[in-house]
Structure 1
Amino acid sequence: MPGHAIPTLRTRRLVLRAPVPADFDAYRDLMASSRSTFMGGPFDEARAWGLFCHDIACWTLFGHGALMIDVATTGECVGQVGINHGPLFPEKELGWLLYDGFEGQGYVTEAAAALRDWAFAELGLASLVSYFHPANARSIAVAQRLGAVRDDDAPRQDAEDLVYRHLPPGLRS
């Protein structure tokens, strides 16, 4: 389903919207910081730009990609959620990042659930995975809150990654 229009998704508290160039500065800053360690960073500006563009290009290439997470009441962008694919990911990956200072408010869980549910409904996917460095306890906890289960048999992008599998609503335990 390449070329799929980038949706705007709304949850109780959030608006998930297409990335725009003005979003890059905060994204770059996160990717240059120690917060990106579990994503293979820190990254220099050129690599961060490449990753940002990958997140957008996935919409044209695969019919899914990244959405920025805005707080509905303030319009403040607090992070990103996306479905990644291509040579960097063995399977379609549901991933997320949250900017500093917005932890513990459930934003990522709410945003990831909305994008996951959109992907199953609109793309008809059989499953999604999330890849984690074993020390990334906070993101693993998000995956577990979303109902994902560890899949030790799944292919991984990095040998040490843990893989958590997300299933469509009728198949979740």
Structure 2
Amino acid sequence: MIAPTLTTDRLTLRALGPQDAEAFAAFYADDRSSFVGGPMNAEQSWRTLAGEIGHWTLNGFGRWAVTETGSDTCIGCVGLWAPLGWPEPEIGWDLFEGATGKGYATEAAEAARSYAYETLGWDTAISLVAIGNDASARVATRLGCTPEGTFTHARLGTLTIYRHPKVGG
């Protein structure tokens, strides 16, 4: 399955592809990726990118490359995520160096949530935020999410569950 393209006022969410390997490698080589399984080397980040792309085939939904409209440079990865072992479908966001602090995570996550609710028929979702990832916790709060306990992942540790508002509420 190929990811559909979504647009917002400032962003384009497009299918991830091999052209995004360099951006993934740079993000995952940095300590900023520690909240989402990094740091990792270029081979490991390539496998992570391949997993993101394959998620669409396995689940019929997934995450998108985020670009500023008019550019094709990947500045983050945002969207829907439900790998084996996850407590329930999630809306997740990772923004790369230079893309933070602009409201892009919130804007892209709102577009992904609308797709989940309006196209896929979800009525709620969660976002998992690593303990200490205050920036992601603020994004979840801006999205109207409320903390709802924790989930312990074998590799990522303890994550706070943020519940997205239900459709219409």
Verify the 8 A CA contact 1:32 1:45 in the aligned structure 2. yes
* Counterpart check, 1:168 vs 2:166: yes
CA gap 1:100/1:113 in 2 versus in 1, 3 angstroms: same
1:93 counterpart residue number: 90
TM-score scaled by structure 2? 0.91
Identity across matched positions, percent: 37
- Contact 1:90 1:156 (C-alpha < 8 Å) held by counterparts: no
Deviations 1:55-107 (A, max 9, x none): 11111111111101111144432111021112252211111111111211111
Runs of 4+ in 1 over 6 A off after TM superposition: none
Matched residue type, 1:95: G
Match of residue 8 from structure 1: 5
Map 1:46-65 to 2 at 5 A: 46-65=43-62
Which digits, 9 at most, give the CA deviation of each residue in 1:150-169, with x for residues without a partner?
A: 111x6443552111011333
Paired residue for 2:124? Answer: 127
Checking the alignment, whether the CA contact within 8 Å between 2:123 and 2:167 is kept in structure 1 is: no
- C-alpha root-mean-square deviation of aligned residues, in Å? 1.7
Aligned length: 167
CA distance in 1 between partners of 2:46 and 2:37 (Å): 15
Distance 2:73 2:157 in 1: 36
SS of the aligned residue for 1:170 comes to coil
Provide the rounded CA distance (Å) in 2 between the counterparts of 1:80 and 1:70: 9
**Structure with more strand by fraction:** 2
Distance 1:45 1:170 in 2: 42
Out of 21, 24, 27, the residue aligned to residue 24 of structure 2 is 27
Letter in 2 for 1:168: K
CA contact (8 A) 1:131 1:156 kept: no
Indicate the SS of the match to 2:118: helix
Query: Is the CA contact 1:156–1:163 (under 8 Å) kept in the aligned structure 2?
Result: no
Check whether the contact 2:151–2:158 (CA below 8 A) recurs between aligned residues: no
Out of 115, 119, 143, the residue aligned to residue 118 of structure 1 is 115
Summarize the Cα distance change of 1:55–1:33 in structure 2 as closer, same or farther, 3 Å threshold: same
CA distance in structure 2 between the partners assigned to 1:126 and 1:156 by the alignment: 24
Query: Which stretch has the larger CA shift, 29-38 or 81-90?
Result: 81-90
Structure 2, unaligned runs of 5 or more: none
Letter of the aligned partner of 2:130 in structure 1?
H
- Number of the residue aligned with 1:107: 104
CA contact (8 A) 2:63 2:80 kept: yes
Aligned amino acid, residue 147 of structure 2? R
- Structure 1 unaligned spans of 5+: none
